[in-house]
Amino acid sequence: MKRIFLFISLILVASVTVCAQSQDRWTILQDGSIQWKPTRNLPHEDHVEMSGQMLSVVLRYGVDVQQRFHLNRSLVFPMLRMKPNKTQNNLKQRFDVNIPAMVTVDDQTLLNEVVQDITFNGIMRVESDAEFNLQMQQNSD
């Protein structure tokens, strides 16, 4: 009996310690959306899963120690199964998205990205500050 009580006591102490250390990352805004301002406890990654009849999507996203955003999408087509009764036997495709390489001005990519906040209300919106390494070209006539 004493061993069971000791075991339960240890579990309770461990769970209270974990709860005391964890803090909410997300805040609920007035419009019902949720927002995360990544300023502490980095790096951090999270994911959102969405499903329909023809397509399922898993968005994996996160912010690294330098406060740069990264995104990875997994598309699953549950209707495209080779064997109908096997749930895992479907067509899957994973896409890594390199945001700084996608955005260019005069063939210059983003530098020193710092994520300000991530907001989710059915649509994910990421706000970042970044710099461009633009070199002014002078016309020599």
Could you read off the pLDDT of 80-129 as tens digits, one per residue?
A: 877 777 777 888 888 887 777 777 777 777 788 889 999 999 888 999 88
Confidence class for position 39, pLDDT limits 50, 70, 90? confident
Higher pLDDT, 137 or 77: 77
Print the SS3 string covering the chain: CHHHHHHHHHHHHHHHHHHHHCCCCEEECCCCCEEECCCCCCCEEEEEEEECCCCEEEEEEEECCCCCEEEEEEEEEEEEECCCCCCCCEEEEEEEECHHHHCEECCEEEEEEEEEEEEECCCEEEEEEEEECCCCCCCCC
Question: What pLDDT, on a 0 to 100 scale, did the predictor assign at position 81?
Answer: 78
Question: What pLDDT, on a 0 to 100 scale, did the predictor assign at position 106?
Answer: 77
Are the CB atoms for 117 and 35 separated by under 8 Å? yes
Residue 23, token pair as written in the block? 């803090």
Confidence class for position 10, pLDDT limits 50, 70, 90? low
CB atoms within 10 A of CB 113: 19
Phi, psi (degrees; rounded to nearest 5) at 57: -130, 135
Beta-bridged to residue 124, according to DSSP, are: 120
State the burial class of residue 63 (Cβ atoms within 10 Å of its Cβ: 0-12, 13-18, 19+): buried
pTM more than 0.85: no
Question: What pLDDT, on a 0 to 100 scale, did the predictor assign at position 28?
Answer: 92
Question: What pLDDT, on a 0 to 100 scale, did the predictor assign at position 141?
Answer: 46
Could you read off the pLDDT of 19-29 as tens digits, one per residue?
A: 444 578 889 99
Q: What is the mean pLDDT of the chain?
A: 78
* Whole-number Å distance between alpha carbons of 95 and 134: 29
